[in-house]
Amino acid sequence: MNKFPYMSEIKNLLTEEILMIKYSPESKDRAIATTLINLYNSTPDLKAFFEKVKFMYESLKPTFFILSDEDNETILDHMYIVRIYSALAAFYKFYNKYQKLTEETNFTKQINEFGFDAKIDESIKMIIDIYNDKFLSLIDTHAIPLIAKAWVIKLKKLIGLVKQQSHTKNNWVNFVNLLSEHISNFIDEIDDVEFEIEDHEINQTNAFFARLVFFDGFYYNCLLLREKLIENQEQIIGYKYLDNKQLLIEREDRLEYMKTIADSIKN
C-alpha cells in the first residue's frame, strides 16, 4: 500500500480534539475523559484507535434528554465519546477512501486545475455521499420525534442538494456547510427550549438525537479536514486557494481560550 501523505495533519487534528477534552473544566472529574486521553496516548495507530472508540460509542446508552438528575452524569460521557468518534469516523474513512483512490488505476486526475492533490476533495465528497445515505436511511427507518418532524423535511432537501452538487467543482462545499449549519442550529435550538417527552418516548428520542450529534460532528470534521489539507497544499504549492479557513481559525481560537481558562484554574 502507498504511504499516506496526510497522517501528520490527521494526527494534529486528533491531538487538538484530545486537548479540548483535557482543557474542559469538567474533564478532571470524569473517568471517561481520562480513559480517552490515555487511550489516545497509548494507541498511535489510527485504525486501532478508531476501532476502540467505535466500540465505546456503540456500547454507550444514548443520552440526550434525561428523566432524572441521576441520568445527568451520562450526558457528558456520551458527548466526550461522540466528539472523538465523529472526528475519527471522518478522518479514518477519508484515509481509507484516499488510499483506495490512490491504488485505482482508473483514477487519472491526480492534480486539479490549481495544482492541488485532486484526491483530497474526491475522497471527502465520496465519504460524505456514503454518510448522507446512512443519514437518510436512519431518518427513513427510525421514529422521528414530533419536535423534529418539520426540521427533518428541510434536512432531507439539503441532503438531496448535497448529493446533486457532489459532482460539481465548487458548490458541493457550500451545500455541505449549509447542511452542517442546519444540524448544529437545530441542536442548539433544542438545547434552549423546553418541551414535553413522554416516558415511553425517551429512548427513541435519545437514540435519534444521539445520532444527530454524531452526524453533526462528522460533517464538521470533514469540512475541518478539508481546510487543514488545503492549508497543507497551499504551503507546498505556494498558492493561496482558500483565503478564509473559518473552521481552522475558530478552532485555534477556541483551543487557545480553553487552554487559558484551564491554566488560570490550575494556578
d(CA 90, CA 125) in angstroms, rounded, equals 11
Give per-residue pLDDT as tens, 3-53: 899 999 999 999 999 999 888 887 777 788 889 999 999 999 999 999 999
| pLDDT tier for residue 181 given thresholds of 50, 70 and 90 | very high
- pTM, two decimal places: 0.91
Residue 37 near residue 21, CB atoms below 8 Å: yes
Helix (H) or strand (E) holding 192: helix 171-192
User: End-to-end distance of the chain based on CA atoms, in angstroms?
Assistant: 48
Among 18-32, 121-135, 205-219, the minimum mean pLDDT is found in 18-32
Identify the band that residue 172 occupies on the pLDDT scale cut at 50, 70 and 90. Answer: confident
Average pLDDT, the chain: 86
The pLDDT tens digits for 21-34 are 888 887 777 788 88
How far lies 29's CA from each of 36, 97, 243, in Å? 13, 38, 40
pLDDT of residue 207: 81
> What pLDDT is recorded for position 104?
80
Residue 1 has pLDDT above 60, yes or no: no
Smallest Cα–Cα separation from 225: which of 111, 108, 92? 92
d(CA 259, CA 255): 6
**CA-based nearest residue to 216, from 31, 97, 64:** 64
Q: How far apart are CA 183 and CA 195, in angstroms?
A: 19
Mean pLDDT in residue range 131-160: 89
> d(Cα 217, Cα 251) in Å, to the nearest integer?
13
pLDDT exceeds cutoff 70 at 266: yes
User: What are the residues whose beta carbons fall under 8 Å from the beta carbon of 182, sequence distance 6 or more?
Assistant: 154, 155, 158
